[in-house]
Amino acid sequence: MAEPLRVAVAGLGTVGCAVLDLLERNRELLARRVGRPILVTAVSARDRAKARPVSIEPYRWVEDPRSLAEDPENDVVCELVGGADGVALELVRRALRAGKAVVTANKAMLAVHGAELAALAEARGTVLAFEAAVAGGIPIVKALREGLAANRIGRIYGILNGTSNYILTQMRESGRDFATVLAEAQRLGYAEADPSFDVDGIDAAHKLALLAALAFGGRPRFDAVFVEGIRHVAPIDIAYAAELGYRIKLLGVARLTEHGLEQRVHPCMVPVEAPIAQVEGVFNGVVAECEDAGPMVFEGRGAGAGPTASAVVADLLDIARGTRLPVFGVPVAALVDHRPAPMSTHRGSYYIRLMVVDRPGVLAEIAAVLRDHEISIEALIQRGRNPGQAVPIVLTSHETTEAAMTAALARIGALASVLEPPRMIRIERL
């Protein structure tokens, strides 16, 4: 059997410990699959004495994880520290400059610094692998970079954050509001004490930037992603969505348009019969619309110790086999600086909910504003009478531009008969 692949692990949180456990439990199986042992030679974390579900006694302890970059006793640095900058970024930069392969689950770092790090890896003839950074255990990076490499991708979209998907699923199934379901998710450990990263769409935006880079051969541009979270989604909107034949999902969507590369994360109404609408709870789902292979649907657990560790170890197996591919699917010199498409140019259909005073002429006022902005109504729901009191009006539009809808809603929101800011959710035709 060939010499071992020597691995140093930086970061011993939930995922880091799961990686150590998986490598130990499946040691013989993994060695048989790649023809050489995978050996952990060193570990590093902030607190050596912290209680962990695995023993770290068999491994050499290193106080400063950054020193693993030049350590001659390892071939691969497994970065599981996290964070877009700081120790994680310094460690990865130094490791790549030293010619070591790097495996990371750090989507924030790659979404911001991915092009720079890919150039470092290519210049030094080494590997930067990140399967675990997008959609947990779903092998979407490998699928885009290898299995679907013969295809042009028309659009890629998906549910990329399990916390938000769990909340929206529970809201639909129970009728409870966002705040109540979020509190439950925090008690169950599905949401962090500060859930902003998840429910405000930032986590999904990091992942979408990486998917778009892989799908369209460009540099990751987190700063070019339009981001909107789920805090404003109300039970009444979920109920109306069901009545109209939709479910509400937080989607990340990327596609090339005549205006440039459109990258957006926001709540979407998706047809209930679409495969992505069936992805529930903490699961993730990704759909790649391929020119020749057709739509490809991937679903699985997008987070958690086991699925993420599975993806990390899969990257280690590729390195052990000698697999070396361009980080984002094409050589760095061929990466395109796609022009970001302004969100104002987006074309689509929209769901609008208005709370209005029930009196004659209100609907005519609203329709006049929509007419002025060349927006056509596809469906309208208005029930019951409550003269002089607040009632909901729900409508969906035919396809229009984001700019036209934004301008129309600003005028509608200023009408004396409209009592609350209009609620708008984009409809994604799938």
Structure tokens that stand for 183 in this block: 């509190």
Question: Three-class SS of residue 331?
Answer: coil
Give the architecture-level CATH label for domain 346-427: 2-Layer Sandwich (3.30)
| CATH of segment(s) 5-138+323-333 | 3.40.50.720
Question: Three-class SS of residue 390?
Answer: strand
- What is the residue extent of each domain of the chain? 5-138+323-333, 140-303, 346-427
Q: Which residue type occupies 83?
A: G
Tell me the C-alpha to C-alpha distance, in Å, between residue 190 and each of 135, 265, 288: 15, 20, 27
pLDDT score at 333: 94
Structure tokens that stand for 179 in this block: 């705040």
Residue 9: beta bridge partners?
43, 78
CB-CB contact of 371 with 416 (8 Å): no
Sort residue 421 into left (φ over 0), alpha (ψ -120 to 50) or beta: beta
pLDDT score at 1: 64
pLDDT score at 388: 67
**pTM of the full structure:** 0.94
| CATH of segment(s) 140-303 | 3.30.360.10
Q: In the chain, which residues have pLDDT < 70? A: 1, 384-385, 388
Rounded to 10°, the helix 107-124/86-97 angle is 10
DSSP assignment, residue 66? Answer: G
Longest dimension (CA), the chain: 84
CA nearest 211: which of 133, 137, 149, 267? 133
Active-site annotation, residues: 207
Q: In whole angstroms, what is the distance from residue 55 CA to residue 38 CA?
A: 18
pLDDT score at 105: 96
pLDDT score at 382: 87
